[in-house]
Amino acid sequence: MKRETPPPSPRSSAGSVSRQPGRWQLDRIVAELRTSREETHSIRRDGEARRAPSRDALEAILDGLTEALFPRHYGQSDLDGENIDYFVGNTLSAALDSLSAQIHRGALFVGDELEPGFVHEEAIELTRAFATQLPPVRGLLINDLRAAFVGDPAARNFPEILIGYPGMTAIIHHRLAHLLYQIGARLVARLMSEIAHTRTGIDIHPGARIGSGFFIDHGTGVVIGETAIIGNNVRIYQAVTLGARHFPTDDEGHVIKGDARHPIVEDEVVIYAGATILGRITIGRGSTIGGNVWLTKDVPPNSIVTQATARNTPSGA
């Protein structure tokens, strides 16, 4: 009986194809990508190509700054009174050196044609200005920590909140990114806020102004826009959005950048899960916004806003 030769396996067939020259038609694809990159869909500025800030470096900078602010919680638990300042100084020095380099990169990457020496010196000055604000920022973060402890009955101690709560991580990152945003290092600030977004699921634009004693409970899905202003001792829950209702345009139809378009939330406000608050409206001091509320109008102080109750009307009534 004649034995039939089995057909080649897909693996051996694919293997033979993989050895054929020009299997991906790279010459054509590379040429088309060049045309797209340089001509039809170019987004690069004219002049010399520049390196973007490094996300990996910024993550390390954020970690280093956080260790310097809270050395026994995020740094080394065995630090004592004799060596803790050396640890903080060394950690801070390395983080600030790297931050200056990333600010320099950011200025070159998105800025106009500038003398490299000038930009480098400016980056050093911006980093120095940033560093001088770290002690008061730590004071703000301690107030945030206390607000979380008071506002969450499940919280047993400060360390649990500081190293375990995503809302605390997000506000640490935001307060550092906001400093950079204020001094003009906006690309670096934006990338830092996106690192926090990735780590926590909480999206706070670095331009948002947030007062003392801020607490985000649970946190996932929170969105706070660029021009939002939040007062002192505000508490919000997961899936809250402080967003824009519409985007004003100029005479040529272009969106106006930086226009005030996000809510103002005054002191002592509580916003429960799923609430969506849109536009440049004001939530008055001491108000409570219930869960899943859709809000586009001002709220007077000391108000309670909840969902409307749907009622069925009997036929013929």
Q: Whose structure tokens read 């602010």?
A: 69
Q: Are residues 246 and 181 in the same domain?
A: no
Report the candidate in 213, 316, 209, 199 with the shortest Cα–Cα distance to residue 263. 209
Q: Is 37 inside a domain boundary? A: no
Rounded mean pLDDT of the chain? 88
Q: What is the mean pLDDT of residues 288-308?
A: 94
- 225 and 169 part of one domain: no
Question: Does 30 map to a domain?
Answer: no
Q: What are phi and psi of 223, to 5 degrees?
A: -130, 125
Q: Which two tokens stand for residue 10?
A: 């897909």
- Domain check: are 98 and 192 in the same one? yes
What is the pLDDT, as a whole number, of residue 48? 64
Whether residues 197 and 225 share a domain: the answer is no
pLDDT of residue 118: 62
CA distance 223 to 220: 9
* Domain-embedded: residue 277: yes
- Asked whether 60 and 102 are in contact (CB, 8 A), the reply is no
- Is there a single domain that holds both residue 284 and residue 145? no
Residue 249, domain CATH: 2.160.10.10
Which candidate, 152, 197, 145, 147, places its Cα nearest to that of 170? 197
- The yes-or-no verdict on residue 77 having pLDDT over 60 is yes
- My answer on whether 154 and 234 are in the same domain is no
Does residue 100 belong to any structural domain of this protein? yes
Burial pattern 136-171, b for ≥16 Cβ within 10 A else e, equals ebeebbbbbbebbbeebeebeeeeebbeebbbbbbb
**Are 158 and 226 within one domain?**
no
Q: Domain check: are 71 and 166 in the same one?
A: yes
Once rounded to an integer, what is the mean pLDDT over residues 122-135? 96
Whether residue 281 sits in one domain with residue 184: no
Q: Are 229 and 265 in contact (CB under 8 A)?
A: yes
Same-domain pairing of 184 and 256: no
Same domain, 242 and 298: yes
Q: What is the pLDDT of residue 179?
A: 97
pLDDT for 3 equals 58
Q: What is the pLDDT of residue 134?
A: 97
Model pLDDT for residues 191-247, shown as the tens digit of each residue:
999 999 999 999 999 999 999 999 999 999 999 999 999 999 999 999 999 999 977
Q: CATH code at 159? A: 1.10.3130.10
Taking only the tens place, the pLDDT of each residue in 12-65 is 444 444 555 678 889 999 999 999 988 888 877 665 667 889 999 999 999 999
Is residue 196 assigned to a domain? yes
In a domain, residue 118? The reply is yes
pLDDT at 43: 77
| For the chain, percent of residues with pLDDT exceeding 90 | 69
Looking at the fold, whether 134 and 235 belong to one and the same domain comes out as: no
pTM of the model: 0.84
Residue 140 lies in a domain: yes
Position 99 in a domain: yes
Total structural domains in the chain?
Answer: 2
pLDDT band at 282 (very low <50, low <70, confident <90, very high): very high
Tokens standing for residue 155: 């919280």
Distance between CA atoms of 288 and 303, rounded to whole angstroms? Answer: 6
- Domain of 256 in residue numbering reads as 221-310
